[in-house]
Amino acid sequence: MESIYVSQKDMLEICQDGDKYFLRYPTFNITYPEVVQEIPKEAVDSYISGEHTGKELMNYAQYGFWKSKKQYTQEESDKIFIRNNPDLIFNDLSDNQKIFSSEEFTQIVTQAIASKLKPSELDAIGTVDSHLELLLVDPVGWEEEIEAVHLEILQEKMNNYIHFLESKQYVEQYGDKFDKKIIHITFQYSPSDNGLGFLAAVQKVLQPTDMSLKVELPE
């Protein structure tokens, strides 16, 4: 990504990567210190020509349109910013839950957790001794506000791992001569009681098979 325009006055930088353009500017927020948003070439040209100010360009990057004369309240601005950056929902779950409807809060949390947990992907696969091991990394917290969604997406990912093993999608690359097939799940945060209950249920399901679950909890 190449820097093509820098404004010290507006405290922003415009970068280009092939035919894509990106706006970069600081937020002075320790948790989220910098914003990098893709913007269309038309918006770049409009700013550089002087038609729009740096602040207006930042608003465009945040909202996806040139902001009208309407003044947004702080809550409205927060909602728009979180909608455009779902991961920020985790910063203050209790307060963020209050500004959204139950339905929209769940929708944003689902999007944010799915982006972290990636339920349709295998995190890693390899052989250990005579075992085939699939690594599943869970980096998501277990706060009450997001527990149900977290469990739902984790279950989806676990089901995909089990299906991968049952359908022997590994054979072409690794063969099929293994004593055991292990799903190794590691947690960044200690699971809730319901999370532990889910893991116990998975272990029970796998017990009569040649698959097993290895759980690694944070210290």
Length of the chain: 219
Can you tell me the mean pLDDT for 127-144? 95
- Low-confidence winner among 1-10, 63-72, 170-179 (lowest mean pLDDT): 63-72
The answer, yes or no, to whether residue 169 has pLDDT greater than 80, is yes
pLDDT of 133? 96
pLDDT of 75? 84
The answer, yes or no, to whether residue 150 has pLDDT greater than 80, is yes
3-state secondary structure 65-131: CCCCCCCCCHHHHHHHHHHHCHHHHHCCHHHHHHHCCHHHHHHHHHHHHHHHHCCCCCCEEEEECCE
pLDDT of 70? 60
Q: Is 121 exposed, middle or buried (0-12, 13-18, 19+ CB in 10 A)?
A: exposed
The answer, yes or no, to whether residue 69 has pLDDT greater than 70, is no
Confidence of residue 4 (pLDDT cuts 50, 70, 90): very high
Contact 41, 26 (CB under 8 A): no
Confidence of residue 162 (pLDDT cuts 50, 70, 90): very high
The answer, yes or no, to whether residue 194 has pLDDT greater than 80, is yes
pLDDT of 201? 97
Contact 190, 217 (CB under 8 A): yes
pLDDT of 185? 98
Domains and CATH numbers, the chain: 1-70 (no CATH), 72-112 (no CATH), 118-216 (3.30.750)
Can you tell me the mean pLDDT for 48-54? 89
